[in-house]
Amino acid sequence: MALSRKTFLRVLGGGIVVAAGAAVAVPRLDAMPASAVEGWRGPGPEEADPRRRALAWALLAPNPHNLQSWSVDLSQPGAIVLFADRTRLLPQTDPFSRQILIGHGCFLEILSMAAAADGYRADVALFPGGEWRLDRPVARIVFVKQPGIAVDPLFVEVPRRRTVKGKYEARTLDASHKVALFAGYGAPALPLAIADEPGRVDRLRALAVAGSELEMNTARTHKESIDVARIGAAEIAAHRDGISLKGPMIWALRQTGQMTPEKAMTPGTLAWNGGRDYALGGYGSAQTLQEYPEMAELRAAMHRETGTPDGAILQMFFRLGYAGDPGPSPRRALQSFVTV
């Protein structure tokens, strides 16, 4: 959007943007570009191949830093061979690609639900080439026609799923919701616990905040997030991945030269402080589980606090709460995942 030279703008500490002469337009600045989120409508009518139809849903899965590290080979009829895209990893913060693989698990789960909705059973063989390495597949999935196959009731929720990165409402977990969450949990081999006693929540929160602070203050790990930060609508539309920074405040900071990757790497700047507030306010919640050496002590403290036994790994730690819909995050086009 072209701004008249006369339009002036002030950014106040509290996050208010004042733009003389543009008061109505401001809230729309830097909105999420429609092209970046078109995938949330599911497969287009031109997609006839059931594998591609299921993949169009699977790519809506949650995944670390929204890198969408999925790469699929469709060269074998009726089968999908899934690899990790080795150009889309997080070597500093996720050195073993453990979290990248969790994202693959989420992808496979939605893929199976979507296949069933089309009348196919997805037979998933994990790590068919042996113990996983980057050059080996994560999974091979064979589509088998099975009319009448049950469809997971959660499938209809896929277009509405979101990761909420902002603050949650100040509201405790409803007891009936807690019961329903446990009832719907289908992986007994991986114990699930919900911490909702205030003292315990405070201790866990303090560890999470410490983890976020440490990550931001470790240049090489912080840089990994900054490198995938997409600042403003144009960058978001160009990449359709990564961490989207958008909205009037970001727009204003960009216009005034205060939101650049360099500034976001420099403690004390508005960009740094804003990122810190954002991370500590919400999204930095799971960072204590990162497996780089500097995090070892906090990770051990988190294992102690959650009663994770020696030798076991706390796979995920996440916030649970109530919040409005933050809107969908970007996804790349289906074709960009298909390598063969």
Rounded Cα gap, residues 6 and 70, in angstroms: 47
Tell me the angle at which helices 98-117 and 50-58 cross, rounded to the nearest 10 degrees: 130
285 is a contact residue toward ligand FMN (CB under 6 A): yes
Binding to ligand FMN, residues 157-186 (CB under 6 A): 162-163, 165
Query: Which has the closest alpha carbon to 132: 169, 160, 101?
Result: 101
| Nearest-angstrom CA–CA distance, 289 and 317 | 8
Residue 35 Cβ vs ligand FMN, minimum distance, rounded to whole Å = 16
- Contacts of ligand FMN in 310-329 (CB under 6 A): 329
For ligand FMN, the closer CB: 22 or 215: 215
Alpha-carbon gap, residue 35 to 237, rounded angstroms: 7
287: contact with ligand FMN by CB under 6 A:
yes
**β-pairing verdict for 120-126 and 70-73:** unpaired
Q: Rule CB under 6 A: is residue 66 a binding residue for ligand FMN?
A: yes
Rounded Cα gap, residues 86 and 69, in angstroms: 7
Q: Which residues have C-beta within 8 Å of that of residue 184, sequence separation ≥ 6?
A: 154
Contact range with ligand FMN by CB under 6 A, out of 96-104, 133-141, 246-254, 258-266 = 96-104
Q: How far is the CB of 53 from ligand FMN (least distance, A)?
A: 19
| Candidate residues 39, 50, 64, 232; the one interacting with ligand FMN per rule CB under 6 A | 64
Q: Are 120 and 111 in contact (CB under 8 A)?
A: no
The reply to whether 63 sits near ligand FMN by the rule CB under 6 A is yes
Q: What is the DSSP letter of 59?
A: T
Among 106, 126, 173, 237, binds ligand FMN (CB under 6 A): 106
240 lines the binding site for ligand FMN (CB under 6 A):
no
Nearer to ligand FMN by C-beta: 251 or 287? 287
Q: Which residues bind ligand FMN (CB under 6 A)?
A: 62-66, 99, 102-103, 106, 162-163, 165, 283, 285-287, 329
